[in-house]
């Protein structure tokens, strides 16, 4: 078993080394589309809407990068990936960036040779149970059957939690969120565990959301963020600073409503540098001066994207919490644009 895991890791690393030899920015420009890996479907984060158009919080990162590089937020080929297939898709070059609820860990960064370009959602692993199960704490789940996505950090976190609390469980392995939802609602498992945001998004699609409870325990840190291949630093810069542009725009008060006015010039030098009316920040990355303006116009600043897709006024109903700006008690923080 260990040998299989090791060989798998080495295979992915080898693919990454080969794929990184090419310049992804040039490839994307030549192709005219961004190939963006997303989940197979998680409402609020990445899922086709009623018109078949991909939409969601993670999808917005893809559209912002496409707008920054190509000037067209719709120039994206979305590639659905599972927990098992996502890393191979990125390492092989099938996708240019993975914008899927993926936790930034040491082994993924160092051993699998990927580069997380930031955190777009600070999350933690939680538990959802049917209300009529009568459980109020995860510590009461001794002997429960648990639906869990394979190939994820949640598998190890789950084992650690039950072992630390000296209770047992029976795993019910599933590969996608849709399969988890189906199995959970069919009663194949007592509990579904994944990132708390994913549980809230899944519950929002139920016919009776109030019939299901998110237990209070958050058993892990799950910093979720987009990632690219190791070794292509120019491309990493483009994706990293596109995300930073969305975060900074919220902090600086640049919105989809006022960006037209602000891009004519303001008395705030950082806004002017961000929007390309001062300096040469775009040129430094091989992009035009309006790259950040295009990225922000694709879906709004970070706060607008959050509110529209997963915020408290949506069916997913997530509070900003740790994902608030640092100026409002959260962890969200972009390095300066200078």
State both tokens at 151.
């190939």
pLDDT for the residue 151: 78
Helix (H) or strand (E) holding 172: strand 169-174
Reduced to 3 states, what is the DSSP secondary structure of residue 76? Answer: strand
Q: Are 76 and 36 in contact (CB under 8 A)?
A: yes
Q: pLDDT tens digit string along 15-30?
A: 544 444 459 999 999 9
Tokens 């979305």 belong to residue: 78
CA distance 163 to 83: 24
Tokens describing residue 224: 């979720």
d(CA 283, CA 225): 25
The set of residues, in sequence order, having a beta carbon less than 8 Å from that of 55 and lying 6+ positions away, is 46, 47, 48, 49, 309
What parts of the chain have a pLDDT lower than 50?
A: 1-10, 13-14, 16-21
DSSP letters, 96-148, are: SEE-SS-B--HHHHHTS-EEE---SEEE-EEEEEEGGG---SGGG-TTEEEEE
The CATH 3.40.190.10 domain(s) of the chain lie at 27-120+225-319, 124-221
285 contact partners, CB below 8 Å, separation of at least 6: 25, 234, 237, 238, 241, 291
| Assigned CATH for 124-221 | 3.40.190.10
Residue pair 21/92 in contact (Cβ under 8 Å)? The answer is: no
Count the residues in the chain: 338
CATH 3.30.565.10 fits 27-120+225-319, yes or no: no
Q: List beta partners, residue 140.
A: none
- For residue 17, give both structure tokens: 């080394």
User: Which residue matches tokens 């990293």?
Assistant: 240
126, 130, 131, 133: CA torsion to nearest 10:
-100
The position carrying tokens 């120019």 is 234
Q: Are 56 and 100 in contact (CB under 8 A)?
A: no
Place of tokens 């390309």: 276
Q: What is the largest CA-CA distance in the chain?
A: 63
State the Cα–Cα distance between residues 204 and 337, nearest whole angstrom: 37
pLDDT at 18: 44
Distance between CA 240 and CA 116 in Å, rounded?
8
Q: What is the CA radius of gyration of the chain?
A: 20
**Is pTM beyond 0.85 here?**
yes
């Amino acid at each position: 078993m260990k040998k299989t895991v090791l060989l798998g890791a080495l295979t992915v690393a080898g693919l990454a080394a080969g794929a990184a030899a090419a310049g992804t920015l040039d490839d994307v420009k030549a192709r005219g589309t961004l190939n963006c890996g997303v989940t197979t479907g998680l409402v609020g984060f990445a899922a086709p809407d009623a018109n078949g158009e991909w939409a969601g919080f993670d999808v917005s990162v893809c559209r912002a990068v496409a707008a920054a590089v190509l000037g067209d937020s719709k120039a994206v080929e979305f590639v659905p990936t599972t927990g098992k297939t996502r890393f191979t898709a990125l390492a092989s070059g099938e996708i240019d960036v993975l914008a899927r609820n993926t936790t930034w860990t040491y082994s993924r960064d160092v051993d699998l040779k990927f580069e997380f370009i930031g955190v777009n959602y600070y999350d933690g692993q939680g538990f959802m149970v049917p209300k009529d199960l009568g459980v109020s704490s995860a510590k009461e789940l001794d002997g429960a059957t648990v639906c869990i996505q394979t190939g994820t950090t949640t598998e190890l976190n789950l084992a650690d939690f039950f072992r630390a609390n000296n209770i047992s469980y029976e795993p019910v392995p599933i590969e996608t969120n849709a399969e988890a939802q189906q199995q959970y609602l069919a009663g194949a498992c007592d509990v579904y565990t994944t990132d708390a945001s994913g549980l809230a998004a899944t519950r929002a699609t139920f016919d009776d959301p109030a019939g299901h409870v998110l237990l209070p325990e958050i058993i892990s840190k799950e910093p979720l963020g987009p990632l690219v291949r190791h070794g292509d630093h120019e491309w990493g810069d483009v994706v990293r600073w596109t995300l930073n542009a969305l975060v900074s725009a919220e902090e600086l008060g640049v919105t989809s409503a006022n960006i037209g006015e602000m891009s004519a010039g303001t008395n705030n030098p950082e806004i002017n540098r961000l929007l390309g009316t001062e300096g040469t920040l775009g040129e430094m990355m091989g992009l035009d001066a309006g790259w950040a303006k295009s990225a922000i116009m694709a879906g709004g600043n970070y706060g607008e994207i959050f509110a529209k897709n997963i915020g408290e006024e949506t069916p997913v109903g997530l509070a900003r919490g740790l994902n608030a700006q640092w100026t409002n008690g959260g962890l969200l923080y972009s390095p300066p644009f200078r």
